[in-house]
Structure formats: structure tokens, C-alpha cells
Chain A
Amino acid sequence: AQRVTQPEKLLSVFKGAPVELKCNYSYSGSPELFWYVQYSRQRLQLLLRHISRESIKGFTADLNKGETSFHLKKPFAQEEDSAMYYCALYGAQKLVFGQGTRLTINP
């Protein structure tokens, strides 16, 4: 069975500071990993996926199979980045989410 772990429930950083949201996974097969984001009063939406290897809103995430990690990073946080972030793994016909990290960017 697949499992996704986000060790930080809450993360608070100052505007302009670097951000890293941690995600570790366990899965016996070849993983497909995603980051989803839920802004205040908006629906959950895809932020990025590892296979596209692109930067969205300044965020990047690299799949590290050796460390079974898919951490989300942004060099300079902005206030509009405040949201709930979920790491997710697709395998065995289902998308399994981590527990989520609430990111707060302080002015």
C-alpha cells in the first residue's frame, strides 16, 4: 500500500524567505507524485506534478527516489502563497494524500 507523509502540519515563514514543504512517500511501484494546493475559500487544485518538471508560481519539486522524497520549494515566499498544501501519490488506481501542511507567510 502506498503512504505519503508530510511531517509538518504547520509552517510559518516571513515574506521573501525560502520555503520548503517536506513530503516523503512509500510505494513498491513506480510513483507518480503531485502537489495540490487549497487557497482560502477555493477548491483543491493541482499545483504541480513530478513528471512535468516545471515551475508553477515559483514552486518546484524534485523527486528523489533514493530518499523517497518529493519536497516542495520556493526561493522567495509571497503572502499569496499562504494555503494548505497536500502531497499526493498516484498508484494502484488511486490518489493518496499526505496529511497536509498549512503554510502561512507573514508580512
Chain B
Amino acid sequence: DTAVSQTPKYLVTQMGNDKSIKCEQNLGHDTMYWYKQDSKKFLKIMFSYNNKELIINETVPNRFSPKSPDKAHLNLHINSLELGDSAVYFCASSGYTGELFFGEGSRLTVL
């Protein structure tokens, strides 16, 4: 069974569109994250949620809006997409050990 799953894996869209990426974890973890990996493979934290509450917001533009309907899900909605939003977005979760478990990533391409 996949521990952290995110959909879609690939997303190609035009500038100005709005898109969402969904993430679900079945590990029973309280904390979930979104990371952005740029073209140089640099991984930067965007958000973290603990039990549906926003804990970290790393100065991400407010076009990005995370939503956590319950502690097993953390979705990412992006409005008015820009070229610079093209990246791979990783969802992750962690429990009491602090180890992060990652999803496979969602590659977003903005044309």
C-alpha cells in the first residue's frame, strides 16, 4: 500500500490557469508538508500542517493555498499560474520519529 500518494503525477497547463494537487497519507501521521523542487533539484519547504492546522508558511505567494480537510489529506491549490511555478511539488508526512515520508512528486509544467 502506498504510504503517501499524490495526484496527479504530471500536470501541464497554461499561464493564468488554476490547478490543484492532492495528497493523502495512510500512515496515521499528524504532520504533513508541501515542498517545491526547482529545476536545479533544490528542495524548499512551502507549508506544513499539524492536525489540520497551518504551522509553517514559508513566504509563499498567496496564489498558493493549502487546504487540509483532515489530518490524512493536504491539498495544494494554485491560482493564476505563472511560468516560475513550473517545478516538482512533493508532499510528505511525519510522525513522532520526525522522519519524513515523501510522495512521488507532481511535476507541474506551466506553458
Report yes or no: A43 in contact with B104, Cβ–Cβ below 8 A.
yes
Instruction: Give the CA-CA distance A86 to B101 in the complex, in Å.
Output: 14
Stretch of B35-43, B63-71, B72-80 lying at the A interface: B35-43
Chain B residues positioned under 8 Å from A13 (CB to CB)? none
Does B61 touch A at the CB level, under 8 Å? no
B9 to chain A: closest CB distance in Å?
A: 11
Are the CB atoms of A94 and B102 closer together than 8 Å? no
Residue of A32, A45, A86, A102 touching B43 (CB-CB under 8 A): A86
Contact in complex: A93, B48 (CB < 8 Å): yes
Query: Taking A84-B41, A94-B45 as contacts, is the C-beta distance between A43 and B102 under 8 angstroms?
Result: yes
- Please give, as numbers and ranges, the residues of chain B lying within 8 Å of A100 by CB-CB distance: 41-43
A43→B4 CA distance, assembly (Å): 10
**A93 proximity list for chain B (CB < 8 A):** 48, 55-56
Chain A CB within 8 A of B84 CB? no
Q: Mark B83-97, 1 if CB is under 8 A from A, else 0.
A: 000000010100000
* CA of A32 to CA of B99, assembled, Å: 11
User: Does A90 sit at the interface, judged by CB under 8 A?
Assistant: yes
A46/B43 contact (C-beta < 8 A), A94-B48, A94-B56 known? no
Chain B residues, Cβ within 8 Å of A36: 100
Is there contact, CB below 8 Å, between B41 and A95? no
* Across-interface contacts of A32 in B (CB, < 8 A): 98
C-alpha gap A97/B44 in the complex (Å): 7
Which single member of A49, A90, A94, A99 contacts B42 (CB below 8 Å)? A99
Does residue A96 face the partner (Cβ distance < 8 Å to B)? yes
Distance to closest chain B CB from A80 (angstroms)? 20
Is A44 an interface residue when CB atoms closer than 8 A count as contact? yes
B10-53 interface with A by 8 A CB criterion: 33, 35, 40-45, 48
